[in-house]
Amino acid sequence: MFDNLSEKLERSFKLLKGQGKISEINIAETLKDVRRALLDADVNYKTAKSFTEGVKAKALGSDVLNAVQPGQMMVKIVHDELAQLMGGESVDIDISGKPAVILMAGLQGSGKTTHSGKLAHLLKNKKGKKPLLVAGDVYRPAAINQLQVLGEQIGVDVYTEEGNNDPVKLSKDGVKHAKANGHDVVIVDTAGRLAIDEQMMKEIAAIKNAVTPHEILFVVDAMTGQDAVNTAKEFNDKLNFDGVILTKLDGDTRGGAALSIRSVVEKPIKFVGMGEKMEALDVFHPSRMADRILGMGDIVSLVERAQEQYDVDEARKLQKKIAKNQFSFNDFLSQIQQIKKMGNLKDLAGMIPGMGKALKNMDFDDDAFKGIEAIIYSMTPEERENPAVLNGSRRKRIAIGSGTNIQEVNRLIKQFDDTRKVMRMMTQGKNMGRMMQNMP
């Protein structure tokens, strides 16, 4: 995400970083580079201009010229201004209504249906809500079906009306149904066109009037850059929406939409979509995003994601098993599954400071664990629990069963043994000093 922008910004600070003393000219040159980097990332022209002017005023005001580490100080100023540009603080959605009605708006393909599902999943799991999804995209049977499939996957009810092609009535009925059935949140998915048209705008405005939503979320594809900002403007003029869900940030986006939307429509980005999975929805934190843009990683979000998957009882059980040297391939498998739930690997690695850039050109196979899983699935229950029995002929059978080869099987078993040893040492708290010495 935002790799090019990060790289260019880093380059612009280079000039300042190495110097003990800098001049106003240095600052002006650096800011020119920063502005160019922002424009290249498809940031709105006016936004880029006022951004660099703001940074300049702050820099001169805070006496960067006489600072001990002027480069560092500039990076800090740019960081804070970037966070400010994206809204400063994160903003919650309003789910206080009974039921709270959330209307999803946006163009076709922006990710509305996917994100209706993700939002329902998040509200159910993190806020203990009982959401109802309303399939308001009545013109496309495929969209209704897509929502039903998602609903089933996340265990959330989906309201549909066969043969009803009046989305206004359907949305109203959906809210009624929610009230009658104890749902405390209603998420109305709506139809989108490929481009804005009068008819679509009228229709969604009519739905808004009919269901008086507490929260209107505009869903927009971050990959579309400035188009995203223009579409946001049009939707906001018509709907006066409350917040934005910026989708597909896991892709190769340049950053323009994320950085310009807030200042152009004056509405906060509330969530970002980071993938196709139902878990891939993050609350938007401007300051953390600024960290990522400046190549500082985002450890806070990484830890949060890990915690979401963390089950204290399971962890305790696991610790006991490790101490008794009973950590098995089944445990290994469930650890892999937990990591997979946290998101795609490249995205996770990018949250580690400095890693994003290092990984930029590496091709990450999102299914990097596939081979490992296949090998473990080809083991018998006994072999998984007691890897000591894995002799040559068993290994051969597993290689054939998993469609891999004997070397791969050996490698995995060796890695597993090593992991087990290290884990054991860590839980015993002994030999840590020696372990550290042996680290490369």
Q: How far is CA 326 from CA 341, 375, 376, 415, 438, in A?
A: 24, 19, 16, 16, 25
82 annotated among ligand-binding-site residues:
no
Which positions from 167 to 206 touch ligand GDP by CB under 6 A, shown as an x/- string?
A: -------------------------x--------------
Residue 418 marked in a binding site: no
247 and 113 Cβ atoms separated by less than 8 Å: no
The Cα 70–Cα 74 span in angstroms is 6
User: Does the annotation flag 335 for ligand binding?
Assistant: no
Handedness of CA 378, 383, 388, 393 (dihedral sign): negative
In the chain, what are the helix, strand and coil shares in percent, each to the nearest 5?
Answer: 60, 10, 30
The number of beta carbons lying within 10 Å of the beta carbon of residue 106 is 25
Instruction: Candidates 54-62, 111-119, 165-173, 324-332: pick the segment binding ligand GDP (CB under 6 A).
Output: 111-119
Distance CA 6, CA 292 (A): 8
| Helices assigned H by DSSP within 253-369 | 256-265, 286-293, 299-308, 312-323, 329-342, 345-349, 355-358
If the CB atoms of residues 149 and 435 are measured against ligand GDP, the closer one turns out to be 149
Q: Which is nearer to ligand GDP, 155 or 251 (CB)?
A: 251
Among residues 251, 354, 381, 403, the one that binds ligand GDP under rule CB under 6 A: 251
The dihedral built from the CA positions of residue 283, 289, 290 and 296, taken in this order, carries a sign that is positive
Nearer to ligand GDP, 250 or 279 (CB): 250
Query: Quick check: 108 binds ligand GDP (CB under 6 A)?
Result: yes
* Residue 398 C-beta: closest distance to ligand GDP, Å: 34
Q: How far is the CB of 350 from ligand GDP (least distance, A)?
A: 14
Please count the other Cβ atoms lying within 10 Å of the Cβ belonging to residue 11: 11
CB 281 → ligand GDP: shortest distance, Å? Answer: 8
Does 367 bind ligand GDP (CB under 6 A)? Our answer is: no
Question: Given candidates 3, 250, 291, 298, which one binds ligand GDP under the rule CB under 6 A?
Answer: 250
256 binds ligand GDP (CB under 6 A): no
- CA pseudo-torsion sign 412, 413, 418, 423: positive
Q: Does 114 bind ligand GDP (CB under 6 A)?
A: yes
151 binds ligand GDP (CB under 6 A): no
Is 191 annotated as contributing to ligand binding?
Answer: yes
- The DSSP annotation for 197-208 comes to -HHHHHHHHHHH
| Smallest distance, ligand GDP to C-beta of residue 118, A | 8
Binding site membership for GTP: which residues? 106-113, 189-193, 247-250
Binding residues for ligand GDP (CB under 6 A):
106, 108-114, 192, 247-248, 250-251, 273-276, 280
